[in-house]
Amino acid sequence: MMVCTSSTVAENGRNLLRENQCPSSTPPTERPTSKSKEEVNKIVEVSKAAQKSWAKTPLWKRAELLHKAAAILKEHKVPIAKCLVNEIAKPAKDAVVRSGDLVSYCAEEGVRILGEGKFLVSDSFPGNERTKYCLSSKIPLGVVLAIPPFNYPVNLAVSKIAPALIAGNSLVLKPPTQGAVAALHMVHCFHLAGFPKGLISCVTGKGSEIGDFLTMHPGVNCISFTGGDTGIAISKKAGMIPLQMELGGKDACIILEDADLDLAVISILKGGFAYSGQRCTAVKVVLVMESVADTIVEKVNAKVAKLTVGPPEDDCDITPVVTESSANFIEGLVMDAKQKGATLCQEYKREGNLIWPLLLDKVRPDMRIAWEEPFGPVVPVIRIKSVEEGIHHCNASNFGLQGCVFTKDINKAILISDAMETGTVQINSAPARGPDHFPFQGVKESGIGSQGITNSINMMTKIKSTVINLPTPSYTMG
């Protein structure tokens, strides 16, 4: 197995950590490095052993350590954000590390929901006497494999790590190749908090090299993945373990005639172009009623013209997309739409991986961009004649992550929300994951399982019952 790329990442990671004055006192055994298959086996073995004693650690102690990690993460916010700027070209304004709050909330929520069990008596079911008492509680799954995406290598890693740990699981983290340095810095914060050795491990490397080996590893008891359609392949291969999959999206923004148009415009701008459109919850298609389409397009264009384009270090609004192949893919979608007659509201411009923001008007269903996810700063607009047409387009998508609707009529909004086949519908706001304790889920090719702090804790546990059998009445009487 080739591990050179991942070594480089890990090596660069250490250099960057030093540069950012992250304490380098992590013992070598806990310092994440790239791993061969043999090393992966070893990590899973160590992780399994660490989990056994972690599961016996009292819940309040687990919570205490998580609170400690939360405080350290908050202290390290700035250098971690700097990593995000350097590594994944996130503009400083978008490089918000909200992980500390997420960890604290998770510790508090975990104490509440895991501190409670159920008590059932048998005579509530027909044919039974009151001779059986059932005690059930939630117990950990074992080793959780967490695979976060490049666009949120820290926050989305922590959204998997914290629920796993509070529930008594151990954690193997496979950070994205781009974003590994920031993720390693975050893991270092957990190590500084004093979590037991081997409880949180990192495996760096290209998904194409170690992905299958890790995700099909018999020692892994749960996978929480966020990313692209690789998640579909993982789901097919993973076997009988709980899966949490957050995959792509084609989040639609439906704008009715009675909408607050300025609010819709700001939401399209923020929702479509923040972090250059590289968010699973980005606005990926605008479905606007014909009668207000000209106004919407004109107002969005005026704002697009003001977006700054350039390097993340200058805190530009639009920065280079993550890889050359991503940029090529986005260009392919634009060229296809252009060739088929879409109106390019701005001149298409690209320098390397940097693509200038672009609104494409009069997109039609025969164009790829009507259905495919650009993951870049290009937003298609489809003009619709009826709300039903908008809902139909949204539901014809293979994806179903989020959607949004803009209208002042709350009754209509609720009816449209009910009709949209997506995990979440936002009324009068762009799609978004947060706040992090809200349920977050996709349907169809957008994923399986629900996230959000409570749902993740529940998903990373299983129910264990103990039944106390009392002597039967006939036996006692006899």
List contacts with ligand G3H (CB under 6 A).
Answer: 151-152, 279-281, 432-434
Residue tagged active-site, from 109, 209, 246, 445: 246
Whose Cβ is closer to ligand G3H: residue 94's or residue 361's?
A: 94
Measured between alpha carbons, how far is residue 81 from residues 85, 99, 179, 312, 340 in Å?
6, 11, 11, 11, 41
Considering the complex, state which of residue 104 and residue 281 has its C-beta at the smaller distance from ligand G3H.
281
Q: To the nearest whole angstrom, how small is the minimum distance from the Cβ of residue 245 to ligand G3H? A: 12
Query: In the complex with ligand G3H, which residue's Cβ is closer, 311 or 434?
Result: 434
Residue 466: CB minimum distance to ligand G3H, A: 38
Decide whether 114 or 432 has the Cβ nearer to ligand G3H. Answer: 432
Q: What are the start-end ranges of the H helices in 97-154? A: 99-114
**Closer by beta carbon to ligand G3H, 10 or else 453:** 453
Alpha helices per DSSP H over 115-206: 155-166, 180-193
Tell how strand 461-469 and strand 132-140 pair up.
antiparallel
Asked if residues 463 and 138 have their Cβ atoms less than 8 Å apart, the reply is yes
Beta strand residue intervals within 19-113, DSSP E: none
Residue carrying structure tokens 């989990």: 51
State the DSSP string of 236-274: HHS-SS-EEEE-----EEEE-TTS-HHHHHHHHHHHHHG
* Minimum distance, C-beta of residue 275 to ligand G3H, in the bound complex (Å): 7
Structure tokens at 412: 């209509």
Least distance between ligand G3H and beta carbon 162 (Å):
15
| Exposure class string for 272-298: b at 16+ Cβ within 10 A, else e | bbbbbbbbbbbbbbbbbbeebbeebbe
- Of 217 and 433, which CB lies nearer to ligand G3H in the complex structure? 433
230, 215 in Cβ contact below 8 A? Answer: no
Rounded least distance, CB 159 to ligand G3H, Å: 8
CB nearer ligand G3H, residue 90 or residue 279: 279
Written as one letter, the residue type at 130 is R
Four-residue CA torsion sign, 107, 33, 194, 222: positive
User: Strand 461-469 and strand 447-448: pairing?
Assistant: unpaired
Q: Shortest gap between Cβ of 282 and ligand G3H (angstroms)?
A: 8
Label the pairing between strands 350-351 and 358-361: unpaired
Comparing CB distances to ligand G3H, the nearer of 17 and 322 is 322
- Closest contact distance (angstroms) between CB of 436 and ligand G3H is 8
Q: Is-catalytic flag, 246? A: yes
For 462, phi then psi, to 5°, come to: -130, 160
From the list 153, 173, 66, the residue with the least C-alpha distance to 109 is 66
Shortest approach of ligand G3H to residue 217 CB, angstroms? 25
The amino acid at residue 219 is G
DSSP class of 21: T
List, by residue number, the catalytic residues.
246
